[in-house]
Amino acid sequence: VVKILVIGATGTIGQAVVNELAPRHEILHAGRSRAPLRVDITSEASLRELFGSVGKIDAIVCAAGNAHFGPLQTMTADQFKIGLDDKLLGQVQLALIGAEHLTDGGSITLTSGILSREPVKNGANASTVNAAIEGFVRAAAIELPRGIRINAVSPTVVVESLPIYGPYFRGFEAAPVQRVAYAYAKSVEGAQTGQVYCVG
Protein backbone atom coordinates (compact mmCIF):
# COMPACT_ATOMS: atom_id res chain seq x y z
CA VAL A 1 0.00 0.00 0.00
CA VAL A 2 1.35 3.39 -0.97
CA LYS A 3 -0.02 6.87 -0.30
CA ILE A 4 -1.10 8.50 -3.57
CA LEU A 5 -2.12 12.13 -4.07
CA VAL A 6 -4.51 12.39 -7.02
CA ILE A 7 -5.04 15.93 -8.31
CA GLY A 8 -8.16 16.19 -10.44
CA ALA A 9 -9.70 13.32 -8.46
CA THR A 10 -13.23 14.55 -9.23
CA GLY A 11 -12.71 14.70 -13.00
CA THR A 12 -13.62 12.18 -15.69
CA ILE A 13 -10.12 10.70 -15.86
CA GLY A 14 -9.23 11.36 -12.19
CA GLN A 15 -12.26 9.47 -10.89
CA ALA A 16 -11.36 6.44 -13.00
CA VAL A 17 -7.77 6.60 -11.74
CA VAL A 18 -9.03 6.72 -8.15
CA ASN A 19 -11.34 3.74 -8.77
CA GLU A 20 -8.45 1.76 -10.27
CA LEU A 21 -5.95 2.48 -7.49
CA ALA A 22 -8.16 2.78 -4.38
CA PRO A 23 -8.58 -0.99 -3.78
CA ARG A 24 -4.80 -1.36 -3.38
CA HIS A 25 -3.63 2.00 -1.98
CA GLU A 26 -4.41 4.96 0.22
CA ILE A 27 -5.73 7.82 -1.95
CA LEU A 28 -5.69 11.53 -1.13
CA HIS A 29 -8.34 13.25 -3.29
CA ALA A 30 -7.46 16.75 -4.45
CA GLY A 31 -9.02 19.19 -6.91
CA ARG A 32 -9.79 22.80 -7.46
CA SER A 33 -13.33 23.13 -6.09
CA ARG A 34 -15.02 19.78 -5.35
CA ALA A 35 -12.46 17.41 -3.74
CA PRO A 36 -11.77 17.16 0.03
CA LEU A 37 -8.27 18.62 -0.53
CA ARG A 38 -8.40 21.93 -2.41
CA VAL A 39 -5.53 23.04 -4.63
CA ASP A 40 -4.98 25.24 -7.66
CA ILE A 41 -2.00 23.88 -9.60
CA THR A 42 -1.47 27.30 -11.19
CA SER A 43 -0.60 28.76 -7.78
CA GLU A 44 2.72 28.00 -6.12
CA ALA A 45 1.32 29.13 -2.75
CA SER A 46 -1.64 26.78 -3.09
CA LEU A 47 0.60 23.84 -4.00
CA ARG A 48 2.93 24.54 -1.05
CA GLU A 49 -0.05 24.74 1.30
CA LEU A 50 -1.37 21.39 0.04
CA PHE A 51 1.96 19.60 0.39
CA GLY A 52 2.50 21.19 3.79
CA SER A 53 -0.79 19.70 4.96
CA VAL A 54 -0.43 16.13 3.60
CA GLY A 55 3.12 15.25 4.69
CA LYS A 56 5.27 12.70 2.84
CA ILE A 57 3.57 10.83 0.01
CA ASP A 58 4.67 8.01 -2.29
CA ALA A 59 3.05 9.03 -5.57
CA ILE A 60 1.51 12.07 -7.22
CA VAL A 61 -0.95 11.76 -10.09
CA CYS A 62 -2.16 14.83 -11.95
CA ALA A 63 -5.30 14.49 -14.08
CA ALA A 64 -5.95 18.24 -14.25
CA GLY A 65 -5.01 21.11 -16.49
CA ASN A 66 -6.76 23.36 -18.97
CA ALA A 67 -5.78 24.60 -22.41
CA HIS A 68 -7.39 27.03 -24.85
CA PHE A 69 -9.38 25.66 -27.78
CA GLY A 70 -10.06 28.02 -30.67
CA PRO A 71 -9.13 28.94 -34.22
CA LEU A 72 -5.50 29.79 -34.94
CA GLN A 73 -6.28 32.84 -37.03
CA THR A 74 -7.87 34.75 -34.16
CA MET A 75 -5.77 33.27 -31.35
CA THR A 76 -4.20 35.84 -29.06
CA ALA A 77 -1.12 35.48 -26.91
CA ASP A 78 -3.31 35.78 -23.82
CA GLN A 79 -5.43 32.85 -24.99
CA PHE A 80 -2.28 30.85 -25.75
CA LYS A 81 -1.03 31.56 -22.25
CA ILE A 82 -4.02 29.73 -20.75
CA GLY A 83 -2.51 26.37 -21.67
CA LEU A 84 1.03 27.47 -20.85
CA ASP A 85 0.11 28.73 -17.37
CA ASP A 86 -2.45 26.08 -16.46
CA LYS A 87 -1.87 22.64 -18.01
CA LEU A 88 1.88 23.06 -18.68
CA LEU A 89 3.36 25.23 -15.94
CA GLY A 90 0.77 24.02 -13.43
CA GLN A 91 1.92 20.42 -13.87
CA VAL A 92 5.61 21.37 -14.08
CA GLN A 93 5.29 23.35 -10.85
CA LEU A 94 3.44 20.44 -9.27
CA ALA A 95 6.31 18.11 -10.21
CA LEU A 96 9.02 20.49 -8.98
CA ILE A 97 7.38 21.18 -5.62
CA GLY A 98 5.88 17.71 -5.27
CA ALA A 99 9.25 15.99 -5.70
CA GLU A 100 10.41 17.57 -2.44
CA HIS A 101 7.55 15.85 -0.62
CA LEU A 102 7.91 12.38 -2.18
CA THR A 103 9.46 9.40 -0.41
CA ASP A 104 12.59 7.85 -1.97
CA GLY A 105 11.59 5.91 -5.09
CA GLY A 106 8.29 7.79 -5.33
CA SER A 107 6.60 8.71 -8.59
CA ILE A 108 4.98 11.58 -10.46
CA THR A 109 2.46 10.98 -13.25
CA LEU A 110 1.35 13.91 -15.41
CA THR A 111 -1.27 14.12 -18.16
CA SER A 112 -0.70 15.28 -21.73
CA GLY A 113 -2.92 14.08 -24.60
CA ILE A 114 -3.12 12.77 -28.15
CA LEU A 115 -2.94 16.28 -29.65
CA SER A 116 0.82 16.21 -29.04
CA ARG A 117 1.05 13.76 -31.95
CA GLU A 118 -2.15 14.29 -33.93
CA PRO A 119 -3.30 17.86 -34.50
CA VAL A 120 -6.93 18.89 -34.85
CA LYS A 121 -8.49 22.20 -35.83
CA ASN A 122 -8.66 24.64 -32.88
CA GLY A 123 -6.06 22.58 -31.01
CA ALA A 124 -2.81 24.53 -31.50
CA ASN A 125 -2.54 25.52 -27.85
CA ALA A 126 -3.29 22.00 -26.59
CA SER A 127 -0.89 20.40 -29.12
CA THR A 128 1.91 22.69 -27.99
CA VAL A 129 1.27 22.18 -24.31
CA ASN A 130 0.91 18.39 -24.56
CA ALA A 131 4.19 18.10 -26.50
CA ALA A 132 5.92 20.28 -23.92
CA ILE A 133 4.65 18.16 -21.04
CA GLU A 134 6.04 15.06 -22.76
CA GLY A 135 9.39 16.80 -23.30
CA PHE A 136 9.50 17.84 -19.67
CA VAL A 137 8.83 14.31 -18.46
CA ARG A 138 11.60 12.82 -20.60
CA ALA A 139 14.09 15.41 -19.38
CA ALA A 140 13.07 15.50 -15.73
CA ALA A 141 13.35 11.71 -15.49
CA ILE A 142 17.13 11.83 -15.88
CA GLU A 143 17.59 14.51 -13.20
CA LEU A 144 15.11 13.71 -10.45
CA PRO A 145 16.90 12.65 -7.25
CA ARG A 146 16.38 9.75 -4.82
CA GLY A 147 15.04 7.30 -7.42
CA ILE A 148 11.96 9.42 -8.03
CA ARG A 149 10.26 8.45 -11.30
CA ILE A 150 8.18 10.60 -13.65
CA ASN A 151 5.92 9.61 -16.57
CA ALA A 152 3.09 11.11 -18.61
CA VAL A 153 -0.14 9.55 -19.77
CA SER A 154 -1.15 10.78 -23.23
CA PRO A 155 -4.75 9.69 -23.84
CA THR A 156 -6.90 9.92 -26.92
CA VAL A 157 -10.35 11.40 -26.33
CA VAL A 158 -12.16 9.26 -23.78
CA VAL A 159 -15.58 7.76 -24.50
CA GLU A 160 -17.08 9.40 -21.40
CA SER A 161 -15.98 12.85 -22.63
CA LEU A 162 -17.41 12.54 -26.15
CA PRO A 163 -20.47 14.66 -25.25
CA ILE A 164 -18.04 17.56 -24.59
CA TYR A 165 -15.05 16.94 -26.90
CA GLY A 166 -16.58 14.73 -29.60
CA PRO A 167 -16.93 17.50 -32.23
CA TYR A 168 -13.16 18.21 -32.06
CA PHE A 169 -12.25 14.54 -32.53
CA ARG A 170 -14.24 13.24 -35.50
CA GLY A 171 -12.68 10.03 -36.77
CA PHE A 172 -10.64 9.41 -33.64
CA GLU A 173 -11.23 6.13 -31.86
CA ALA A 174 -12.22 7.07 -28.32
CA ALA A 175 -10.88 5.00 -25.42
CA PRO A 176 -13.01 3.91 -22.46
CA VAL A 177 -11.76 5.83 -19.42
CA GLN A 178 -10.96 2.54 -17.66
CA ARG A 179 -8.35 1.81 -20.34
CA VAL A 180 -6.81 5.21 -19.70
CA ALA A 181 -6.80 4.50 -15.95
CA TYR A 182 -4.63 1.39 -16.50
CA ALA A 183 -1.87 3.61 -17.92
CA TYR A 184 -1.82 5.63 -14.68
CA ALA A 185 -1.62 2.37 -12.70
CA LYS A 186 1.28 1.26 -14.90
CA SER A 187 3.08 4.51 -14.14
CA VAL A 188 2.42 4.46 -10.38
CA GLU A 189 2.80 0.74 -9.72
CA GLY A 190 5.38 -0.09 -12.40
CA ALA A 191 9.07 0.68 -12.53
CA GLN A 192 9.60 2.76 -15.66
CA THR A 193 10.54 6.43 -15.81
CA GLY A 194 10.68 9.09 -18.53
CA GLN A 195 7.88 7.31 -20.39
CA VAL A 196 4.92 8.70 -22.28
CA TYR A 197 2.10 6.15 -22.16
CA CYS A 198 -0.04 6.76 -25.23
CA VAL A 199 -3.57 5.39 -24.91
CA GLY A 200 -5.40 5.26 -28.22
Ligand X SMILES: NC(=O)c1ccc[n+]([C@@H]2O[C@H](COP(=O)([O-])OP(=O)(O)OC[C@H]3O[C@@H](n4cnc5c(N)ncnc54)[C@H](OP(=O)(O)O)[C@@H]3O)[C@@H](O)[C@H]2O)c1
By CB under 6 A, residue 108 contacts ligand X: no
By CB under 6 A, residue 87 contacts ligand X: yes
Beta-bridge partner residues of 57: 102
In whole angstroms, give the CA distance from residue 91 to residue 158: 21
In contact, 108 and 60? CB cutoff 8 Å? yes
Shortest spacing between CB 104 and ligand X, in angstroms: 26
Q: Where are the alpha helices (DSSP H) in 27-147?
A: 44-54, 77-83, 89-100, 124-141
Residues 176-195 that bind ligand X (CB under 6 A): none
By CB under 6 A, residue 74 contacts ligand X: no
User: Please, which residue, 9 or 137, has the CB nearer to ligand X?
Assistant: 9
By CB under 6 A, residue 65 contacts ligand X: yes
The size of the interface with ligand X (CB under 6 A), counted in residues, is 31
Residue-level length of the chain = 200
Residue from 4, 17, 21, 31 that binds ligand X (CB under 6 A)?
A: 31
Q: Which stretch binds ligand X (CB under 6 A): 50-58, 75-83, 86-94, 136-144?
A: 86-94
Main-chain phi, psi angles of 124, to 5 degrees? -60, -40
Report CA 152 to chain centroid distance, whole Å: 7
By CB under 6 A, residue 165 contacts ligand X: yes
